[in-house]
């Protein structure tokens, strides 16, 4: 099949390139746009209490509908607010309310802290979407412009959900731009070092850029049809993933293409044979990644259900490009793709790779033990992993972040994201019963303050705002939610219901849903990848140790992340979705490198070389490809260190470490060492290592180097 694909693409290369360009233009022009949502309740199933609380609020308190923010007012000298200061703050609220700012429904004078150092001016917006709504963003900007940062003796800060999300959106845009630019630079530099060729270095930027346009248009279409929601994490990850994986596939193809050129084949024949040989590897590798992501469809969280198809569509598009667009472009350029270097003409000595391969061949047991112990040492630290749900924190250095710091000088940390306690009944509530519930809530450890009940118009629902004593997005705050729910459930009379809502409750339910999803997705994805490996290798043994090696690499990556972020950098935890993302990327992408290595080992076996001899040549040929691909992919994710978000830094750094462990420990040492140790048994029952002496796939005249150089114009 891949031989036919190679022949077709090389023969009709101009038409293939034109088809890609026309498809990209049509999809970008007419397909639905890729849109994101940052509302966590959009991603949680309705069975969770925090989601039911949101629905109840919309029905019982329609006047509170819409996202909110608040102005923090303090004295510039840090002293308590005087009566005159408080009157001035009230005048600010009235002035903003009377200004009828577009999108703002109300600005009121709120509470003054018990120590009189802070006053809050609550702001309500018409829109319910705190993230990505242009009217909300513009409203926050207008309020800030109206107030300025200093009002005489007073300082003001606009913060709260709407302001935090507005600042976060701007921060994400800047981070995405910085990381994407840095990724492009890293890829170009590493490819220049790999091939010493300008065109080869620029090839991924041009081709993957086209692929990205098609992928985002297709994702937008699928999300629109199936009503899926994507979050900003998907938007930030997608370009890096496509650039990284796309470059990997280009590397796989270029290394084999160069190898065929060095064997004396002409440019077109070399590309046909390169597609034939690498096509199965690339397709199997992409299938593993796609299957791993599609396993996310089993998740209960909408954000993961959307991430799965989105990434799968992106990888599938990249695969099609790797088998069509890239071969078409390279066959059009010929050996000029390696310009100005002429290294493509000369077979490298490969002394270092050859020596390492020889060591693996002579001492496979020692190599397997040492590489396994390296991964195991990191894996031990994985038991100390603490999830961090602080996704909605204000970006450092923004006004919203400064405002939350100022707020903390007078109010409990929970004031920035109050927890809502709702009591509802079919008939009007007895205030005494509501008081009993709020008194029970006040006795729960970790509660900072409990407000007075507010009743709905029909008196059938009461709202009590609860301020937690700790950062509402911290693990400690989340540990308070279940005891709070138990306390209010116990104090709620028969025939009535109580719900706990707010950001902390939402993230608590998010953690519960995520743990459920982990238990399902991990084994399903692993099993499906093992099936792909079994079909590729015609073996039941190799997939077992390949998957076990990848799982060990996964645990090692989590352990490395714990070491870096929790122990060295002192973070309270690492982003809650890290295990899932690392599992998918490290398992799936690590499998790419395993497939490349073990496919090469199988080639050597089929050529009649015993395992201890075949590993030398296999390592010499495959190691440079894996090393280059691993460095480029790790470098791509490593650019997330430039993002302003701690979450994106943790994701990028952790995946980069996982890729390095997978490429340089697992695929280059552990897997080939185990394969050599097992020998013929590794291929049971299919015996894919049986010697095969084929005729050349595509006949080509072998030309002297000078003649070949003259004909190819190099």
The model's pLDDT over 92-129, given as tens digits with 9 standing for 90+, comes to 999 999 989 998 999 999 999 999 999 999 999 887 76
CA–CA distance, 611 with 618 (Å, rounded to integer) = 10
With a cut of 90, say whether residue 232 has pLDDT above it.
no
The model's pLDDT over 417-436, given as tens digits with 9 standing for 90+, comes to 889 999 999 999 999 999 99
Delimit the domains of the chain by residue range. 2-30+167-391+508-683, 72-159, 399-507
Give the residue-averaged pLDDT of 432-448. 93
Neighbours of 173 (CB within 10 A): 13
CATH architecture classification, 2-30+167-391+508-683 = Up-down Bundle (1.20)
First vs last Cα of the chain: how many Å apart? 32
Strands 419-424 and 387-388: unpaired
With a cut of 80, say whether residue 40 has pLDDT above it.
no
- Least Cα distance to 368 among 615, 660, 690 occurs for 615
350 Ramachandran zone, left/alpha/beta (phi>0; psi -120 to 50): left
**pLDDT classification of 688: cutoffs 50, 70, 90:** low
**Entry pTM:** 0.79
118 Ramachandran zone, left/alpha/beta (phi>0; psi -120 to 50): beta
Q: What percent of the chain has pLDDT over 90?
A: 36
With a cut of 70, say whether residue 62 has pLDDT above it.
yes
**pLDDT classification of 14: cutoffs 50, 70, 90:** very high
With a cut of 60, say whether residue 695 has pLDDT above it.
no
Least confident range from 450-459, 531-540, 548-557, 688-697: namely 688-697
With a cut of 50, say whether residue 703 has pLDDT above it.
no
Query: Using H for helix, E for strand and C for coil, what is the string for 160-208?
Result: CHHHHHHHHHHHHHHHHHHHHHHHHHHHHHHHHHHHCEHHHHHHHHHHH
Q: What is the pLDDT of residue 708?
A: 47
Q: What is the pLDDT of residue 600?
A: 86
Are 542 and 682 in contact, with CB atoms under 8 Å apart? Answer: yes
- Least Cα distance to 501 among 559, 418, 438, 583 occurs for 418
**pLDDT classification of 655: cutoffs 50, 70, 90:** confident
Q: In the CATH hierarchy, which top-level class contains the domain 399-507?
A: alpha beta
Structure-block tokens of residue 225: 């049809």
């Amino acid at each position: 099949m891949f031989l036919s694909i190679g022949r077709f693409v090389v023969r009709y290369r101009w038409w293939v390139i034109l088809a890609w360009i026309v498809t990209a233009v049509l999809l970008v022009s007419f397909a639905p746009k890729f849109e994101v949502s940052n509302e966590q309740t959009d991603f949680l199933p309705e069975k969770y209490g925090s989601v039911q609380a949101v629905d109840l609020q919309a029905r019982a308190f329609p006047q509170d509908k819409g996202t909110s923010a608040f102005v923090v007012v303090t004295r510039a000298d840090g002293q308590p607010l005087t009566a005159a200061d408080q009157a001035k703050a009230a005048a600010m609220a009235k002035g903003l309310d009377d200004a009828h700012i577009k999108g703002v429904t109300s600005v009121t004078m709120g509470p003054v802290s018990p120590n009189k150092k802070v006053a809050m001016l609550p702001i309500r917006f018409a829109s319910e979407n705190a993230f990505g709504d242009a009217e909300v963003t513009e409203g926050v900007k207008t309020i800030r412009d109206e107030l300025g940062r200093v009002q005489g003796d007073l300082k003001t800060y606009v913060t709260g959900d709407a302001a935090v999300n507005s600042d976060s959106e701007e921060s994400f845009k800047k981070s995405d731009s910085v990381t994407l630019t840095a990724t492009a630079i890293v890829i170009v530099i590493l490819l220049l070092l790999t091939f010493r060729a300008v065109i080869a270095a620029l090839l991924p930027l041009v081709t993957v850029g086209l692929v990205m346009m098609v992928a985002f248009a297709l994702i937008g279409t699928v999300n629109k049809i199936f009503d899926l929601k994507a979050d900003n994490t998907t938007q930030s990850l997608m370009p890096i993933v496509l650039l990284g994986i796309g470059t990997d596939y280009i590397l796989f193809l270029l290394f084999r293409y160069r190898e065929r050129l060095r064997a004396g084949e002409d440019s077109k024949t070399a590309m046909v044979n390169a597609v034939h040989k690498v096509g199965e590897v690339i397709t199997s590798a992409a299938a593993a990644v796609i299957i791993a992501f599609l396993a996310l469809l089993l998740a209960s969280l909408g954000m993961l259900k959307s991430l799965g198809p989105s990434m799968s569509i992106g990888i599938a598009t990249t695969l099609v490009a790797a088998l069509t667009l890239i071969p078409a472009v390279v066959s059009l350029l010929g050996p000029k793709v390696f310009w100005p270097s002429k290294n493509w003409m000369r077979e490298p000595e490969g002394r270092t790779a050859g020596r390492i391969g020889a060591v693996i061949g002579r001492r496979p047991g020692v190599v397997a033990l040492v590489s396994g112990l390296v991964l195991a040492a990191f894996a031990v630290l994985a038991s100390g992993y603490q999830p961090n749900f602080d996704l909605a924190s204000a970006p450092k250095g923004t006004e919203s972040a400064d405002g939350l710091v100022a707020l903390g000088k007078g109010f409990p940390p929970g004031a920035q994201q109050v927890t809502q306690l709702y009591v509802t009944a079919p008939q009007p509530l007895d205030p005494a019963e509501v008081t009993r519930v709020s008194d029970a809530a006040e006795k729960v450890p970790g509660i900072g303050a409990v407000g007075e009940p507010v009743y709905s118009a029909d008196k059938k629902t009461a709202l009590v705002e609860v301020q937690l004593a700790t950062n509402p997005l911290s693990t400690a705050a989340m540990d308070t939610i279940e005891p709070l729910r138990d306390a209010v459930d116990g104090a709620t009379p028969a025939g009535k219901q109580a719900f706990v809502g707010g950001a902390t409750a939402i993230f608590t339910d998010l953690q519960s849903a995520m743990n459920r999803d982990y238990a399902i997705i991990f084994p399903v994805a692993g099993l499906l990848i093992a099936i792909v490996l079994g079909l590729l290798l015609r073996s039941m043994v190799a997939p077992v140790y390949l998957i076990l090696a990848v799982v060990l690499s996964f645990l090692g990556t989590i352990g490395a992340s714990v070491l870096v972020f929790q122990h060295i950098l002192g973070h309270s935890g690492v982003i809650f979705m890290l295990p899932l993302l690392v599992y998918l990327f490290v398992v799936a992408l690590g499998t790419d490198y395993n497939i490349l290595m073990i496919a090469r080992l199988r080639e050597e076996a089929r050529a009649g070389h015993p395992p201890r001899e075949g590993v030398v040549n296999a390592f010499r040929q495959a190691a440079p490809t894996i090393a280059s691909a691993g460095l480029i992919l790790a470098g791509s994710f490593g650019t997330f260190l430039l993002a302003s978000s701690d979450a994106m830094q943790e994701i990028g750094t952790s995946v980069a470490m996982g890729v390095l462990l997978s490429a340089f420990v697992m695929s280059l040492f552990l897997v080939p060492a185990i394969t050599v140790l097992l020998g013929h048994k590794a291929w049971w029952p299919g015996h894919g290592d049986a010697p095969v002496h084929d005729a050349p796939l595509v006949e080509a005249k072998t030309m002297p180097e000078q003649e070949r150089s003259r004909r190819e114009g190099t």
